[in-house]
Structure 1
Amino acid sequence: MIQHITLTIVLICTHQTVSASLTITFNPLQVCICPPIFSTSGRLFGGSTCCTPSTPIIRQAVVLLGGIEVINSDGTGGKTETFSCNVTVSDTEPRGGLDAAVLNDQLFYCGGAYIGVDFITKECYRNDKGNWLTVESMTEERIFHSMTTVGSLILVMGGFSTMEFRASVEAFDGLRWIKLPYKLSSPRAEHCVVPISSTEVVVIGGSYSERPDLIVEKYNIYTGLVSTIPSKSPETKGHACALKDKDIYISGGFQFDDGIGQSFSSVQVLNIETLQWRTIPSMNFKRVGHTMENLNGVITVFGGRNGFSSGDSAQKRTLEKFDGSKWTLEQMQFEHLDHASALVPCD
């Protein structure tokens, strides 16, 4: 028997009282928690603000989308490629520095720059039976931003525009985008973000200020409340990260030290309960501009480049899987650099 319980939460703010409801749906096989968005106007979005219970996904595939500086013979950008099982997804518009996320079993990608054209976009698309349909654009154009599913929302943070690095944050409920009333503590681009609950994310690196250590911060996505997680790793950009159990894996990236660039093959792991760091074996290659996914329990990295050179490097056409003790290389069919990746249900 399915039961619905609605809790009313009242917050007393400086000048006003804000209330919201939290609905929890109980089912013997499923639990769906729908986090509220606090707003004096009641709702920030049109459409549904609550998730729908669904059967737990047993097996997933990774979809790689787009890619910059990788031009195919027909003049298009990076080819779409999938791993683990087949899914029906067509190629994206020819652009790199985009990002992607899945909401309610639907795949979206947004932003990036058109290859060969000095134009950064805020456009967004949704996959529908293998084809890309236009949906509402983000509120700002962005490249090298993060796009993360958190609870019943897609959260976009930071990135770069034609004129500046961004610290702004916006959210999407599947229908509409809204710019949230808080910002990152400093502008970011080429950072990575990991959701650790239905209300919190950890934002890692991407700071373009001079700082010796990796900036790691936990954000409440509704209030903007931020707390810093200490780190002794060097500040990097162009790295990748993913969550497995209670561990955040962070791979590769690059940094500038006294004007000299350095890229990495190293992998750091942060336990989100103890906030302790450890180092695991390095990847076979240094990788910048790659992606990482927890693919059916296996931490896997895809593509990228060797440091600052985007030439004919082996990274662009390889993936690496971590088996708990070592990284194993595998070939990919296409090259992938500054692309997006997302986990989707197998067909």
Structure 2
Amino acid sequence: MISDEDVEERLREALRLHAAEAPPGGAMLAGVAAESARRGHRGRLATLSAGAAALVAIGAAVPFALRGPDPAPAPAVVGQQPAASAPVPVTALVPAAVPASVIFPYSPPSAAGYGTPMVMLSAGRPTLVQRLPTGAGATLTLYDARPPAPTSKASAVPATVHGQPATVYSWHWSDDDPQNPDPGTQRTLVWPAAPTAWLSLTVQGEPAPADLTGYAERLRPGALKAPAPFTFGLMPAGWTVDNISAAAVTFCPPGVGPDPTFVNKIAVQLDDSPGTEPKYSDGSATSVQVGTRRAWLVTSSEGQVLQVPTDGGRSLLLQIGPKALLPLDVLLPFAASIGVTPAAEVSRG
């Protein structure tokens, strides 16, 4: 049997690994809504996972965004500015603070009918997504404090999980956004997993409160790890990492808070094209050198896309939002420091 002390230590480990600052829940919901509006434009600014992002975004207290070291007092790197949008602040590169894996400290049910759990960092939070025997998707999110209600109009009823007080919220996507299509009542269970950690469980559809508490009580201590898709030698100073999945890692510049989207960030992905020609034609394409490889940088009013050929006839794709533009002599060394791991999956965004 695993002792309470062991459980607490695993929770602390997960929270330490993924700890930092983040926005309130309303800001995250607004980010998801804004991203939904953008997705029709060739999917260039896509969420990490359409279903997972929508479920993960509902409970937002303080995500554990991963912040890189602040810049040293030494002079920053000065270089050529990209042609898109406003002038880019001078930025330095520092050793990367990106974990090799994402840790979730609980194991979900594994009986027949349950899907394989998927662990990720979403909006700065350790998150687990699993398909239930009913076909609905369940999303578990780890917090270091009690999360607020999913929306301003959510109703709450008391419940218990292993005898501990819990809350079941009923809410609608349109509560705080009348323009958001409303598929019906959503339900979220929130309860304390340990003195220093809370869990939030959201299940698609309109599950009965007993279904939520029943699933919660089937969780067992036992850390699950998901390896990151990329390694990073360098990252821009003062930026944060807020999303890590098998298909993408996103970096937020100062002033852009963690959320499940790619908006105004640098999103690093693996693409199934070889990268010998520009993937996109709706901008100005320039040939650049990234390490030993010839790459393509396409600049448009939406930002930039840097495509770097890699092994296996595929390419690294860096989607760069308007607020995430970097000088070329910062961007190119950053891209050159990225390696692809066996865990990487080709992005479908």
Q: TM-score range by the shorter chain?
A: under 0.3
Q: Which has the higher helix share?
A: 2
Larger Rg: 2
TM-score by length of 2: 0.26
Q: Which has the higher strand share?
A: 1
